Amino acid sequence: MKILVIQNSVRDPIGILGDHLIYQGAELTTWFPEQQPNLPEGAFSGLIILGGHMNAHEDDKYPHLQQVVTLIHQFHAENKPTMGVCLGSQLIARAFGSQVYPHSTPELGFSPLAVVTDAVTEPWLKNCPVNLHIMQWHFDTFDLPGPATLLMTNDICKHQAYRIGTNIYGFQFHLEVTPEIIVDWLTAKSDWIDTHYPNLDQQIQKQINIHTDNAATFAEQVAYHWLTLFPDAVSKW
């Protein structure tokens, strides 16, 4: 299973999600669009688009975004599994005709997630902890694409996880992060965040201690079940 990973920010690698994918037999090739003008060569059977600081429609500042949308269309046409995380989920929504725009409330830190009732048949949601909290770091949201099924939600931002067809998934939250990645984000946060969220560092440090284990288990479940969508998957479970 050769998977193309699009890393839109040096501060948002694939983290623990990638560890679980590799353990299950996936081979990951990472593309850094802002540093590498050309796509990596090779044939890929899956696509993962990670987060980034840009808005999903900022093609004028970040021309690679249009190329990512084209790749989403291509992988969809070829019926290849695709996953989007934060910005990645917004770019998938854009690719399917939806708008991405600033949300009324930034979501920073670990937030509770609720499974939509109709989504309990998803294998990776059947044993989802009732009190699941996953790391969030976003200022934008999106309209749910017409062909999408909403899977997870919360009171802050309605569209948290969705599926299109049988093998395209979008996650607004950051299931890929490790504590080290989160701490790095805190060291690089903007003056605006420091002004409006003066206690954010302390709050998130406490949240890391409480929620990291459940979040890591959730990422493992998602990785495992997403890879079952590949025809050449060999499970190690």
**Which one is predicted more confidently, 118 or 86?**
86
**Residue 158: what pLDDT?**
97
Are the beta carbons of 82 and 37 closer than 8 angstroms?
no
Tokens linked to 41: 């060569």
- Residues 181 and 105: their CA atoms lie apart, in Å, by 23
**Torsions phi, psi for 28 (to 5 deg):** -100, 135
Tell me the pLDDT tens digit for each residue of 29-48.
999 998 898 899 989 999 99
Domains in the chain: ranges and CATH: 2-228 (3.40.50.880)
pLDDT digits (tens, 9 = 90+) for 47-91: 999 999 999 999 999 999 999 999 999 999 999 999 999 999 999
| Residue 18 contacts residue 220 (beta carbons within 8 Å) | no
Nearest to 44 by CA among 32, 26, 57: 26
d(CA 144, CA 193): 27
Answer whether 219's CB lies under 8 Å from 176's CB.
yes
- Higher per-residue pLDDT: 128 or 176: 176
pTM confidence score: 0.95
Question: How is residue 165 annotated by DSSP?
Answer: T
pLDDT digits (tens, 9 = 90+) for 156-189: 999 999 999 999 999 999 999 999 999 999 999 9
Region 108-117 average pLDDT: 94
Compute the average pLDDT of residues 117-143: 88
For every residue of 6-68, DSSP letters joined together read: E---TT---HHHHHHHHHTT-EEEEE-TTT-SSPPPS--SEEEE---SS-TT-TTT-THHHHH
What value, to the nearest 5°, has the Cα angle with vertex 191 and ends 189 and 194? 75
Q: Are 169 and 76 in contact (CB under 8 A)?
A: no
Question: What contacts 36, CB < 8 A, 6 or more positions away?
Answer: none
Q: What is the pLDDT of residue 233?
A: 62
Is residue 90 within 8 A of residue 142, CB to CB? The reply is yes
